[in-house]
Amino acid sequence: MRKTFGTGSVWEQTLGYSRAVQVDNTLYVSATAASGEDGIVGEDFYTQTQFILQKLGTVLADAGFSFADVVQSKLYVTDISKWEEAGRAHGEVFGEIRPTLSLVHVLPFLDPKMLVEIELVAQKSAS
């Protein structure tokens, strides 16, 4: 079974991608930035990471998953010296869940106000 989930973002159609794709009991969530209705939310790594995780919580819930189902997280930051700020917000959500984590230093994103992106993989246990 393959099912796609979108958010209505113009980028999804333009670039030809889905916010998330479910294949059987696994959900793959595209890298997500702190973009809101009025542009980028937050001017620091902590605030942007918090906002992104709120967005991802909604994506997971819409697909019938939760943070507890997350098995892999990839945290992309534009300034590696700020990893602790992003990591603190990430740890507030995943501290007890403990998915695998990749922390990746990247060049600036399309919008230079974007400081962080997060990509997730979630998996439900086979019943």
Q: Given a cut of 80, is residue 127 above it in pLDDT? A: no
Are the beta carbons of 82 and 89 closer than 8 angstroms?
A: no
SS3 for 32?
A: strand
pTM tops 0.75: yes
118 vs 53: CA distance, rounded Å: 8
Q: Which residue has the tokens 């300034």?
A: 79
48 vs 81: CA distance, rounded Å: 16
pLDDT digits (tens, 9 = 90+) for 73-105: 999 999 999 999 999 999 999 999 999 999 999
Percentage with pLDDT > 70 across the chain = 98
- For residue 21, what pLDDT is reported? 97
